[in-house]
Amino acid sequence: METNRAFPLNAYFDENHVNAATVERYGGGHINETYLVTLPDGKYILQKLNTYVFKHPEDVMDNMVKICDFLHNCVAARGGDVHRELLNVVYTKDGRHSVVTEDGGFWRMTEFIDHTKTYDVIETPEMFEECAVAFGSFQNELANFPAATLKETIPDFHNTPDRYRQFEEAVAENKADRLSSVAEEIAFVQAHRPVCNKLMDLLHAGDLPLRVTHNDTKLSNILYDTQTNKPVCVIDLDTTMPGLVAYDFGDAIRGGAGTAAEDEKDIEKVGVNFDLFDAFTKGFLSTVGGSLTELEKDTLPDGAILMTLECGIRFLTDYLNGDVYFRTAYPEHNLVRAHNMFKMVTEMEANRDKLDAIIRKYK
């Protein structure tokens, strides 16, 4: 274990607290370095942000502070527990929300939320519904937050037209000399160019409102109470920025309602679990439905299709570029991932009437 001097604890605590602290690796995140700091009088989460992924980490923290302050007022106004239902940033002794160390490391600290756990795998439709309730509540509490005041922590993160542009560049450049083997996949993406543009066109036309979006709506980003097994708090706000509500809905469906892992080699196992789609829709609209416009609700299936398509485009683009972005275990890994995303897109498009009926049932 590294000594306490390897961490910027002295920016937060006096010498006695620093000497009494224990610091250990915590959680299973792959982006930031996360540590649990334990003191005689409390626990904290200390994180070193990945400044390769987040080029402007101060923007991440500025967003986080604004959102957490807003949520604090919301939770307090309804009599909730402000120390369990939201993340609480711990400020340094001189009032800063972060610390930059001599080696350029960018660090932050939040209060530890005790008696909670996370899940990585959706075990039942009821679990997915509870997940939807949590993310829907997060959206609902932030419905009146001025989304345009937030910064893009990863520019063009869900700008699908720009992802399409990058795909076209990869096709034109053919860096890995793989073009001849993916003619069918390229044709699939090219045929879906209108899908890539649909939601952005509606946003630019003013038909869809800009919202605060979490942009990483996976099960493991929710803390569950260890006794009640109910959602307590939505975590990992690093990619929370302006976007469309369909992005959060769609990303959850892409990651949670599939019938197989995203890199399953047997394409016959890949598809969409419509019971899970139903469960997530029920939970999501039960909490945020009253805050959404009719068009927002109607375009939720578009979000599911778009986020899955976008992910497939990114996998195919990386395959054409020689696997420079996503970590791969074998040469065709990204191509397998792309196939699976495109299979899900095809299945959702073929069952669009069923998806629309589920939305109508709960809206």
Distance of CA 47 to the CA centre of its chain: 18
pLDDT above 90: percentage of residues in the chain = 93
Are 109 and 44 in contact, with CB atoms under 8 Å apart? yes
> Taking the model in full, what pTM does it have?
0.93
Indicate if the pLDDT at residue 112 is higher than 50.
yes
Q: How many other β-carbons are positioned within 10 Å of the β-carbon of residue 295?
A: 11
* pLDDT, tens digit, 9 for 90 and up, residues 306-326: 999 999 999 999 999 999 999
Are 284 and 246 in contact, with CB atoms under 8 Å apart? no
**Run of H or E including 190:** helix 183-191
- Residues 342, 267: Cα–Cα separation, whole Å: 10
Angle, helices 125-141/274-288, rounded to nearest 10 degrees: 30
Residues contacting 226, CB < 8 A, separation 6+? 115, 116, 117
Burial environment of residue 256 by CB neighbours within 10 A (0 to 12, 13 to 18, 19 or more): buried
The strand pair at 116-117 and 222-225 is best described as antiparallel
Average pLDDT, rounded, for the chain: 95
Residue 104 φ then ψ, to 5°:
90, 0
**Architecture of the CATH domain 4-114:** 2-Layer Sandwich (3.30)
Where in the chain are the domains?
4-114, 125-362
Q: What is the DSSP string of 306-331?
A: HHHHHHHHHHHHHHHTTS-SS--SST
pLDDT above 70: percentage of residues in the chain = 99
Per-residue buried b or exposed e for 312-337, using 16+ beta carbons within 10 Å of the residue's own CB: bbbbbbbbbbebeeeebeeebbbbbb
* pLDDT, tens digit, 9 for 90 and up, residues 10-47: 999 999 999 999 999 998 777 899 999 999 989 999 99
pLDDT at res. 1? 47
Are 194 and 341 in contact, with CB atoms under 8 Å apart? no
pLDDT at res. 31? 85
* pLDDT, tens digit, 9 for 90 and up, residues 121-164: 998 999 999 999 999 999 999 999 999 999 999 998 999 999 99
* pLDDT, tens digit, 9 for 90 and up, residues 231-281: 999 999 999 999 999 999 999 999 999 999 999 999 999 999 999 999 999
Instruction: Return the C-alpha torsion angle 216, 362, 122, 252, nearest 10.
Output: -20
Write out the two tokens for 355: 């998806």
Mean pLDDT of 224-232: 95
Distance of CA 207 to the CA centre of its chain: 24
**Architecture of the CATH domain 125-362:** Alpha-Beta Complex (3.90)
The candidate with the shortest Cα–Cα distance to 99, out of 91, 107, 109, is 107
Confidence label for 3 from pLDDT (cuts 50, 70 and 90): low
- Residues 257, 175: Cα–Cα separation, whole Å: 34
